[in-house]
Amino acid sequence: MRHETNITARYAETDQMGIIHHSVYPVWYEAARTEFIKTAGITYSQLEKDGVMLPLSEIGSRYISPVRYEDKVIIETRVTKISCAKITFGYRVILDGNVVNEGFTSHGFVSSKTFRPINIKKTLPDFYEKLKSIRED
């Protein structure tokens, strides 16, 4: 399953060259990931109430074409890998039907109390099964 998040590039996100700064893409990934998680039937705040956090363990981004102020982009999000301890999301930033950026983030499942790894399959089995069922390679 893929989820689409619409974002309009803001002036504050541009650099001196008038394009979206590279540091903005991880922020866009986070916004898209948050919306994606909701489609799996739970919010980030509910995950935390249930004792689960998803700290970032790895990030990657490939810049293909620039995005400029007021461009309207779509962030396409999907789960590419999932295990009982870790999840990886893939992202594509699309402008006018063209992919202008591709990226990924990997996160561990940890306890919000101890910050130690947990088995999400045991902690939130329904959530785990939902994410596993919508995973794409």
Over its length of 137 residues, how does the chain's per-residue pLDDT go in tens digits? 899 999 999 999 999 999 999 999 999 999 999 999 998 888 999 999 999 999 999 999 999 999 999 999 999 999 999 999 999 999 999 999 999 999 999 999 999 999 999 999 999 999 999 899 888 76
Domain limits at 30? 3-133
| Cα–Cα distance measured from residue 13 to residue 9, given in angstroms and rounded to the nearest whole number | 7
Question: Tell me, what amino acid is at 75?
Answer: I
Please list the active-site residues: 15
CATH number, residue 125: 3.10.129.10
Q: Is the sign of the CA dihedral 93, 37, 28, 74 positive or negative? A: positive
Give the number of domains in the chain.
1
